[in-house]
Amino acid sequence: MTFSPDNLVITGACGGLGNALARQALARGAKVALVGLNAGLLDTLAATAPGRCAIYTPDVSDSAAMQAMAQDWTTRFGTPDAVIANAGVAGGFDTAEASDLAVFRRILEINLLGVATTFQPFVGPMRARGRGTLVGIASLAGRRGLPGNGAYCASKGGLIRYLQSLRAELRPSGLRVCTVNPGYLRTALTAGNRFAMPGLMAPEDAAAAILRAISRGDEELVLPRRLGWLASALDLLPEAWHDALLLRQPRKPRAGESGSTPIPGLKAASTPHRGPEAPAPDPDFRAR
């Protein structure tokens, strides 16, 4: 059984995967709540579908702001068929550096708490209606830790477990929870990576696959599928073997290093022991 969701809420809609999701949903005639940090970019996107969009610029980890967004959207357009929690950030992390603890905290706030904060206002109305889909954009990085990427891997690993818990909780009420585990997508999050990215995928292709998964009622999606098989195979290796495979892999740049991506809302800019000063946060980098 398939259905075509015509009322969606998408966070991280300014660029990358979120923008591709929004564009494709709007092209299908859907009504879409565009949630992101760059109002100008969202205005441009909304102009392509007059009367079918609303623009919101909250911090996804701010529960009061997200509740206000949800109330406004449901009042104007009704309870959504699907909520896609796509907003996310990434950054290198070094446990030996005290300044990086703020980076760890902020990544968890956006990537993990932000998903629960996004879903929370919609669960009640969806449950009362007896249907709805909650989609969390996790990552294959949540399946296995990577050197220098502990904060991101921890946030996505926690997200996978949260979505599993939520799926079991909501199944009796008719709601679906879909976990999406992308590998590498060609977005700002991966632009600074200094290592090979097998299976690198265009966000437009990933968005199309996600919308198909929602329509089919899928509960899990790995992108691309062959990377899921590879991840499962690697899970069978002894820990020491896995660590040896990654020993020479370059680490993800830390805040302020060349190739790093700014993290919005980071209150204490991390100054690494090497590299230039950390740049000011990019107000658009909530989009994947």
pLDDT over 90 at 207, yes or no: yes
pLDDT at 197: 63
Q: What average pLDDT does range 221-236 have in this prediction?
A: 80
More confident: 188 or 127: 127
pLDDT over 80 at 276, yes or no: no
pLDDT at 180: 98
Active site annotation includes 184? no
pLDDT at 121: 99
Here the tokens at position 19 are 């923008």
Q: How confident is the model at residue 283 (pLDDT cuts 50, 70, 90)?
A: very low
Domain boundaries, the chain: 7-246
DSSP class per residue in the chain: ------EEEEESTTSHHHHHHHHHHHHTT-EEEEE-S-HHHHHHHHTTSTTSEEEE---TT-HHHHHHHHHHHHHHH-S-SEEEE---------TT-TTHHHHHHHHHIIIIIHHHHHHHHHHHHHHHHT-EEEEEE--GGGTS--TT-HHHHHHHHHHHHHHHHHHHHHGGGTEEEEEEEE--BSSTTTTT--S--TT-B-HHHHHHHHHHHHHHT-SEEEESHHHHHHHHHHHTS-HHHHHHHHTTSPPPPPTTSTT----TT-SS----SSSSPPPPPPTTTT--
pLDDT, tens digit (0-9, with 9 covering 90-100), for 67-77: 999 999 999 99
Model-level pTM? Answer: 0.86
Q: What is the mean pLDDT of the chain?
A: 87
Percent of the chain's residues with pLDDT above 70: 86
The fold for domain 7-246 equals Rossmann fold (3.40.50)
pLDDT at 241: 80
Q: Of these residues, 56, 152, 162, 184, which one is catalytic?
A: 152
More confident: 224 or 179: 179
